[in-house]
Structure 1
Amino acid sequence: MTALQTFLTTPLLGTSTWLWLVFVTIVIALLVLDLGVLHRQEREIEMRESLLLYSGYFSVGVLFGVWVWYELGAQSALEFYTGFLVEQSLSMDNVFVMAMIFSFFAIPRRYQHRVLFWGILGVVVLRALMIGVGAALVQNFAWVLYLFGAFLLFTGVKMALSKEDSHPDLANNPVLRFVRRHMRVTDQIHGKHFFVRLTPPGQSKALRYATPLFLALVLIELADLVFAVDSVPAIFAITQDPFIVYTSNIFAILGLRSLYFALSALMHRFVYLKYALAMVLIFIGCKIFYHGLVGKVPALLSLGVTFGLLLGGVVLSLFKTRGSEGQEPALAQDSPSKAEAEPGDAAPGSSTASTTNHTGP
């Protein structure tokens, strides 16, 4: 056996290295196709295109599950599909938060895809770290799973009993205040750029400023980190295989980000989805304790119950809200806005800034 063959077949977190490389290659190819080919030019993404993008990502995720079935067996594939479904469902609430963030910073719709795309890169890293830590804890301390189960039960009950959706106070967000204290920030949007160079009045040297696109990116990454506190324990309750946990997470997030532009306009109709998600969390939490006291719940049954609960919540919501206009999340549009500056416009506190040079992505 050659050195290359030895490397490819060496287990990495319990799975052969070559399987991880295949997954990484697929994700990189999807991201290059998305930003480098389909969205090289910033433009507003309509609902039809959003649905087509999602169908593409969803199909790749389903086909990846088929490949997992072929390589690792039916049990792993069913766990992948369950994790894939649970992660997409639990992340739907994130759509509300993303819509609020874009509205707060008045990000035009044609630039929102760019923020979401670069946010995916942060998600890939952050989820890898969280799942790595979770896997190490579960492997060395089996009782941690029961903590996950108790946490999921608590979260599910709390979600089911809550009467009002919480709306984060973005203006007083501590992370946002930290960034504003330690970085130069302009309240004006300079096209697609996360950073620009501006020349303050009375100075000859241009200084680097962060734009609202960067601030929106920071808060979206923070929101994903908060939502991962629920979703990562939920996936570990389904399977403790890091490969299945991570791949199902990433494929689900890729699909959800592409669906944002369609889903954000329809989320007001999913009035009972919260209760379906609560029941899913309670079911998964109970499953952990059932496994420890009685025996393992079949993967096919877990997938069926999860899918049934979520489908029931969606169908009941659409039926109850049929014909209702509802209130859509406020989204920044592409109409002219005082928040969007042409090159040369001043940063806050620099009304006579003479030069704008775009830097960064």
Structure 2
Amino acid sequence: MLPPLFTASFLGQPAWLWAAFLAVVIVLLVLDLGVLHRDDREIGIRESLWLSLGYIAVGVLFGGFIWWQLGAAPATEYLTGYLIEKSLSLDNVFVIASIFGALAVPRVYQHRVLFWGIVGVLVLRAIMVGLGAALVAQFEWMLFVFGLFLAVTGVKMLLGSKEEATGKAGMETHGKADVEDSKILRLIRRVLPVTPQLEGGAFIVRRAHPVTGKLKRFATPLLVALLMVEFADLIFAVDSIPAIFSITTDPFIVYTSNIFAVLGLRALFFALAAMAHRFYYLKHALALVLVFIGAKIFLVGIIGKIPAPLSLGVTAALLAGGVIVSLIKTRPHGHESGSLEARQAVRKS
């Protein structure tokens, strides 16, 4: 018999469900940093793939747990949200790779930045999901705003694909030069005293002030990279949070699918950064997914609510099609192997 505190409802679900989710995430993070990566070292592609596979397995098993506890429909919504979030976050890999390249963060320390970035994601996504849930609960018409936003975003992605094919957008847009010229980066350097070079794996160090000689705390470029990664995640969440709220308004499903998808993507970073240019056409599929999800909300009044299994099937089919077309079109000896800028930037990262 669970204590009343655990059986009480929190954001629409029993508190013990939230506690179980947080326990799983904490165990994963402790195993990741405390056991598997206790020491700073480079993460190879093989290890990255195995680690990501483990995170994916846990994420899918949690979907089975939701099915067992809440039923088939919430579990299907969870899996749909998981797929969409994982796919939408793919562009985030390009941005993170550019941040590491611009700030000259060696591969040996990149896992440390990505790991602690997860802690920030847990907090930032919780705030955004809470705000989204409050808005939807108070103003039902916000769902139509989300739907319109997603549809417009999808159309813009499709219209912008031709420009990206010439190498004028895509990776170049999020390239090293753009990171160095970023207003956020300039603001961070204005607000925080930053050491001119890395100080091992430290985020903050105590050094003598060059003028007064007194000991003072300085941020290192590693902390700057962490703050930039967190800001990038915040920007990408602007797309992903409305997308999942367009599938379900249950904050538990929205938050858990978001977090498990991000956990798996961060684990996959080292493998994905080396071959991200192979998934060029996935962006076209993502654009169609966003248009589909946005249109769903407006179709409810015409044909009724689209069943969750159908939404999952359409989403999975579009994303799988984008992956297959990308792998075929970007074969090493093909004519469309991704932009030269993208491949060079990925190699340098």
TM over 0.5: yes
Please report how far the alpha carbon of residue 294 of structure 1 lies from its aligned counterpart in structure 2 after TM superposition.
2.4
Q: Which residue of 2 aligns with 1:146?
A: 144
Counterparts of 2:231 and 2:35 in 1: how far apart (Å)?
Answer: 28
Q: Residue 106 of structure 1 aligns to which amino acid in structure 2?
A: A
Match of 2:174 among 167, 171, 184: 167
Please report how far the alpha carbon of residue 77 of structure 1 lies from its aligned counterpart in structure 2 after TM superposition.
0.4
**TM-score, length-scaled by structure 2:** 0.92
Please report how far the alpha carbon of residue 178 of structure 1 lies from its aligned counterpart in structure 2 after TM superposition.
1.9
Please report how far the alpha carbon of residue 8 of structure 1 lies from its aligned counterpart in structure 2 after TM superposition.
1.2
Q: Residue 167 of structure 1 aligns to which amino acid in structure 2?
A: H
Q: Which residue of 2 aligns with 1:303?
A: 312
C-alpha change, 1:292 and 1:136, in structure 2 (3 Å) is farther
Match runs of 1:43-58 below 5 Å: 43-58=41-56
**TM-score, length-scaled by structure 1:** 0.89
Match of 1:270 among 257, 272, 279: 279
Counterparts of 1:237 and 1:204 in 2: how far apart (Å)?
Answer: 56
Counterparts of 2:250 and 2:3 in 1: how far apart (Å)?
Answer: 23
Cα deviations by residue, 1:144-192 (Å, 9 ceiling, x for unpaired):
0000000001100000111222326222322222221222111201110
Q: Residue 135 of structure 1 aligns to which amino acid in structure 2?
A: A
Counterparts of 1:331 and 1:44 in 2: how far apart (Å)?
Answer: 15
Q: Any conservation in 2 of the 1:272–1:313 contact (CA below 8 Å)?
A: yes
Match of 2:222 among 210, 213, 235: 213
C-alpha change, 1:190 and 1:332, in structure 2 (3 Å) is farther
C-alpha change, 1:202 and 1:224, in structure 2 (3 Å) is closer
Q: Any conservation in 2 of the 1:266–1:328 contact (CA below 8 Å)?
A: no
Please report how far the alpha carbon of residue 205 of structure 1 lies from its aligned counterpart in structure 2 after TM superposition.
2.5
C-alpha change, 1:202 and 1:226, in structure 2 (3 Å) is closer
Counterparts of 1:231 and 1:202 in 2: how far apart (Å)?
Answer: 46
* 2:214 aligned counterpart, secondary structure: coil
* 2:254 aligned counterpart, secondary structure: helix
Specify every segment of 5 or more residues in structure 1 that has no aligned partner in the other structure, as ranges.
334-361
* 2:274 aligned counterpart, secondary structure: coil
Please report how far the alpha carbon of residue 306 of structure 1 lies from its aligned counterpart in structure 2 after TM superposition.
0.4
| Higher mean C-alpha displacement, 158-167 vs 310-319 | 158-167
Q: Flag as ranges the 4+ runs of structure 1 deviating above 6 A.
A: none
**Higher Rg of the two aligned structures:** 1
| Higher mean C-alpha displacement, 134-143 vs 201-210 | 201-210
Q: Residue 292 of structure 1 aligns to which amino acid in structure 2?
A: G
* 1:197 aligned counterpart, secondary structure: strand
Q: Which residue of 1 aligns with 2:111?
A: 113
Q: Percent identity?
A: 59
Q: Which residue of 2 aligns with 1:190?
A: 199
Counterparts of 1:7 and 1:64 in 2: how far apart (Å)?
Answer: 23
Match runs of 1:1-361 below 5 Å: 5-162=3-160, 163-164=163-164, 165=170, 166-167=173-174, 169-201=178-210, 203-324=212-333, 327-330=343-346
* 1:240 aligned counterpart, secondary structure: coil
Specify every segment of 5 or more residues in structure 2 that has no aligned partner in the other structure, as ranges.
165-169
Counterparts of 1:328 and 1:297 in 2: how far apart (Å)?
Answer: 43
Kindly tell me the number of residue pairs found equivalent between the two proteins.
331
Cα RMSD (Å) of the superposition? 1.4
More helix by share: 2
